Amino acid sequence: MSRLKHIVKHFVFKEDNRPRITLGPEVRLHPTLHHLQLKQGSGTGGGYPTTADLYAKTWTTTPRSMKRWVGFMADVKHFKNRAGTQLTDVRYRLSADGVNELYWNSGANAWVPAAPNNWNTEAEVANNIAAFPASTQTIQVVLNLKTDDASVTPEVRALRLLYESDLEELEDYVWRSLLPSMRSQIRPIGEHAIEMAAAGASIDLNTYPIETPYDIVGIDAVYDIDADPRKLTNLFDSYNDATKVIALTGAIPGGNTALIRFLYAPVLAVTTHQDYIELEKVPEILLEDVKIVDDLGKSNGAHYVINKATGAGKKVPVTQGDIEIRGRYITDKAKDHARLSDAVRRYFEANQLLRSVGMDDDFRLWLIDFYDQDTTPNQDDLHAGRFLFRIAQAVFFDNDAVDITGVLNFNLALTKALC
């Protein structure tokens, strides 16, 4: 049997999440109290609307480590009248693609397409979410807010979904999330100057090979620097990656120097051996040291999800701490060194958050320092620079969930004191 752990996915209705929340007619997100509610004004006497099928939608989430949804809980405030009758209600649907909405049909014993007025109670979702199709690993919750009294509205602060996961935290943060992000976005500029052997409106890089083994992903510009020393006229037209041929908008005379500016993807890896770096691997970004640090303080806590109909629930112990990573970038040219340094800086400026692939949650990416930038080559004729950054308040699930029982009823007995 595979080893699985339990993780809680939170949909929190805060103002920061407004761009990701879909608000249907007559539903609003309160900007300071941070909850969903009905919009006041269109109901009787200027109160809340009592219309059916008023809705809001969470964003879709796709935690790639999820194996099965197993729990559901809503943090919602309802209102009752003096007789104890509940006046507000919230019902739910689920979607596996953000388009098609499903509800639990107890007669069919399945999640089926929803028609108007097909909504489930919180208990129905909690009792049957384990049967929700998990093949896409995607889920969205659609909420139906309703009131029978125009003077009150339900208030929904958050939703909690419990799922089984095979998450390995460090692997997810570094190898599955950070490395693919850096590989896809860090694109330094490189240059290659050649003397044209003959006049031509194309340049074959197989004929004019580049000494450094760049992984070229695109051409930025081509200049005839003899005829255009200020590089004002870009002659680049197109690039065939398969044939390595650059087409130009005009011919460059034989004997003139063509300057090719290109985008390349540097090698990016995590070191596994002290002799990992070899000359043929440059330009390279190497993550050398990955560790969990506690000098800023770790915090321990727990997430929980309770089935309010049965009282059965899970408490998930959680630890938060920073992952500190030291990196090095290496080039064989001083100009490449400066440009690769700029590209790394730009990556961190553009990515203040790192999206965890396994959990589909965001964590702060914090660049701490650039240092030891060598402008002169070392004995291996390489230029190197270092940088230090952290994934802040990363979440770790070191211990699996424990069963808990929620309090379903609370009775307060009053006695009259005799004086």
The answer, as to whether pTM is greater than 0.85, is: yes
pLDDT at 418: 53
Give the CATH number, domain containing residue 374.
3.30.2000
Cβ-count burial of 349 within 10 angstroms (0-12 exposed, 13-18 middle, 19+ buried)?
A: exposed
Confidence category of residue 382, pLDDT binned at 50, 70, 90 = confident
Residue 209 lies in a domain: yes
* Residue 275 shares a structural domain with residue 396: yes
Q: Helices (H) and strands (E) in the chain — how many of each?
A: 4, 25
**Which one of 242, 264, 286 terminates a domain?**
264
Query: 24 and 142: one domain?
Result: yes
> Would residue 415 count as lying in a domain?
no
322 and 397 inside one domain: yes
Residue range 17-36: mean pLDDT, rounded: 97
- Rounded distance between C-alpha atoms, residue 94 and residue 82, angstroms: 34
Segments forming the whole domain that contains residue 370:
169-180+268-403
103 and 50 share one domain: yes
* CA distance linking residue 235 with residue 247, whole number of Å: 9
pLDDT over 70 for what percent of the chain?
91
pLDDT score for 1: 45
The reply to whether 16 falls in a domain is: yes
Q: Is 151 in the same domain as 11? A: yes
Q: Considering 264, 296, 319, which residue would you say is the last residue of a domain?
A: 264
More confident residue, 379 or 315: 315
The domain that contains 50 carries what CATH number? 2.60.120.260
Q: 376 and 251 in one domain?
A: no
Q: Which pLDDT value is given to residue 372? A: 60
Q: Does 414 map to a domain? A: no
Query: Residues 43-56: what's their mean pLDDT?
Result: 94
Residues 257, 289 within the same domain: no
- Burial tier of 128 (Cβ tally within 10 Å: 0-12, 13-18, 19+): buried
Q: Which tops the pLDDT comparison, 298 or 202?
A: 202
In a domain? residue 418: no
Mean pLDDT of the chain: 91
Looking at the predicted structure, is the pLDDT value of residue 276 above 50? no
13 with 152, same domain: the answer is yes
Q: Residue 125 pLDDT more than 80?
A: yes
pLDDT at residue number 279: 45
**Domain count for the chain:** 3
Over 70: is that where the pLDDT of 409 sits? Answer: no
340 part of a folded domain: yes
Does 413 map to a domain? no
pLDDT reported for residue 379: 58
**Domain match, 322 and 258 both:** no
Do both 340 and 304 map to the same domain?
Answer: yes
Is 136 within 8 Å of 96 (Cβ atoms)? yes
> What is the C-alpha separation between 283 and 220, in angstroms, rounded?
18
- Asked if residue 411 is part of any domain, the answer here is no
Sequence letter at residue 164: E
User: Are both 200 and 344 inside the same structural domain?
Assistant: no
pLDDT at residue 375, as a whole number: 62
Q: What is the DSSP letter of 115?
A: P
Last residue of a domain, one of 243, 264, 285: 264
pLDDT at residue 68 above 60?
yes
Q: Are residues 42 and 25 in the same domain?
A: yes
